[in-house]
Amino acid sequence: MTLIEPTAEERVVARRAAESRATIPTLELSVELPAPPSTGRLLSACAQALRQHPRANGAYRDGRFELYSRVNLGLVVAEGGRYLIPTLFDADQSSAAELEQRAERLSAEALAGRLAAPSFAGATFTVWNAGRLGLAGAALPVVPPQAGVLVAGLRTLTLACDHRILYGEAAAAFLTAVTAGL
């Protein structure tokens, strides 16, 4: 038997995933995609849909709904066994092309260890383009306290959301808005 000590990043992922699964009643919805979206188009469609559906850009905290005025997307960066979520601030203010460039730059800086702690905070919603890894579809746990996480695969778009703030019909409407924006 070999024992391996997890890295600091791995301990954070383990703690946050356990916290999410233990405390957030999750609803998962999926739709089929006609084609894999580019990261820029995915981020842009999600940011615009969050603006249209305020509860998706919110949180359930202490028995109340918090609706955020800014759309800050947590971008899942997964490579070489690493799993990081830096933040694209004010994503709804950028075009798909700008978001593609910002995402590439942010991902490279995160993997190189050149981002300070504030770059990993403040996300109001999380997005992962798992299709870049060849996955047909996937789901992630909701990142507390966010209302949801959106994962694009090669053929599916999956929303996992906190069912305390984003109910079935509203979640479906948000997912439909994202799909329409792709």
What are the residue ranges spanned by the domains of the chain?
26-181
Residue 146 DSSP symbol: B
The percentage of the chain sitting over the pLDDT mark of 70, rounded to a whole number, equals 100
Q: How far apart are CA 93 and CA 71, in angstroms?
A: 9
Strands of the 125-129 sheet, one edge to the other: 26-32, 156-162, 148-152, 125-129, 73-75, 87-88
Q: What is the pLDDT of residue 9?
A: 84
pLDDT band at 101 (very low <50, low <70, confident <90, very high): very high
State the Rg of the chain over Cα. Answer: 16
- 181, pLDDT greater than 90: yes
Q: What is the pLDDT of residue 114?
A: 95
CA 148 and chain centroid, separation: 7
The percentage of the chain sitting over the pLDDT mark of 90, rounded to a whole number, equals 89
pLDDT band at 31 (very low <50, low <70, confident <90, very high): very high
* Class in CATH terms, 26-181: alpha beta
- 79, pLDDT greater than 90: no
- 8, pLDDT greater than 90: no
**CA-to-CA separations, 133 to 35, 161, 174, 175, in angstroms, rounded:** 15, 23, 25, 22
- 13, pLDDT greater than 90: no
- 83, pLDDT greater than 90: no
At 155, list the tokens.
């053929």
Work out the average pLDDT over 38-63.
97
- 80, pLDDT greater than 90: no
- 81, pLDDT greater than 90: no
